[in-house]
Amino acid sequence: MQLPLYLTAIFSTACLLSAQQPNRGAVPASAPAPMTLTIPGFPDGGQIPVKFSQAAPGVAPGEGTSPAMTWANAPAGTQSFFLHFHDLDLARNKTTDDQAHWVFWNIPATATGLPEGVPKGSQLPDGSYQISATGPMYRGPGAAATGPIHHYVFELFALDTKLDVKPVGDAFETRTAVMKAIQGHIIGKAVYGGLFRRPQ
């Protein structure tokens, strides 16, 4: 059966418009791979081993051994990295601040990871700076054995600049200064999470 002329015209126009529409679901071939962060010592979202916590044998209160980690696919133009490790379940002094377990910035752009057990020190030989609520070091997770499991997160930011920020005595004041300084300079981000509660 032949279509009426007005239906033929509508159908022809629809086919023409459909042919001209881009494939909205297609991913451009040149899309860069997302930045990734990997911690071999435990799965993303899994239990953080005691060896990386404040509960490890022989560890001083508030300290710990930092886990080894690697990252990949940093965006072009990266000038430094900033690593922020914090406890999402701790409200400090009834504020929106959570616990500053590791504020680590000006990690060189050439870095593709960190070794296990980054040494203490406000400024490391590569020019990076670190601080935590304990001092110039990594602070392992330490959620109490009698409370709920806490959610911890490592956030790695690729920046298009090096930060002109020096640590001060207070980790939370320093973190605020670093967070302010990175605004407008973040060109990539990767996140890795873990759970922890001290053994009973």
Tell me whether residue 11 is in a domain.
no
Assess whether pLDDT exceeds 50 at residue 6: no
Instruction: Give the Cα separation of 187 and 183 in Å (integer).
Output: 10
- pLDDT surpassing 90 at residue 69: yes
Count of structural domains within the chain: 1
Whether 70 is in a domain gets the answer yes
- Please check whether residue 54 is in contact with residue 142, taking contact to mean a CB–CB distance below 8 angstroms: yes
Q: What share of the chain is helix, strand, coil (3-state, %, to 5)?
A: 15, 25, 55
- What local confidence, expressed as pLDDT, does residue 1 receive? 47
Quickly tell me which residue has 């701790």 as its tokens.
90
Q: What is the CATH number of the domain that holds 158?
A: 3.90.280.10
Residue 47, pLDDT above cutoff 70: yes
Instruction: Tell me the residue length of the chain.
Output: 200
For 93-152, the pLDDT digits (tens) are 666 689 999 999 999 999 999 999 999 999 999 999 999 999 999 999 999 999 999 999
134 occurs within a structural domain: yes
Per-residue pLDDT at 5: 46
What residues make up the domain containing 43? 33-196
Q: Which two tokens stand for residue 153?
A: 């997160």
Does residue 9 fall inside a structural domain?
Answer: no
Asked if residue 95 belongs to a domain, the reply is: yes
pLDDT band of 31, cuts 50, 70, 90? confident
Indicate the average pLDDT of the chain. 88
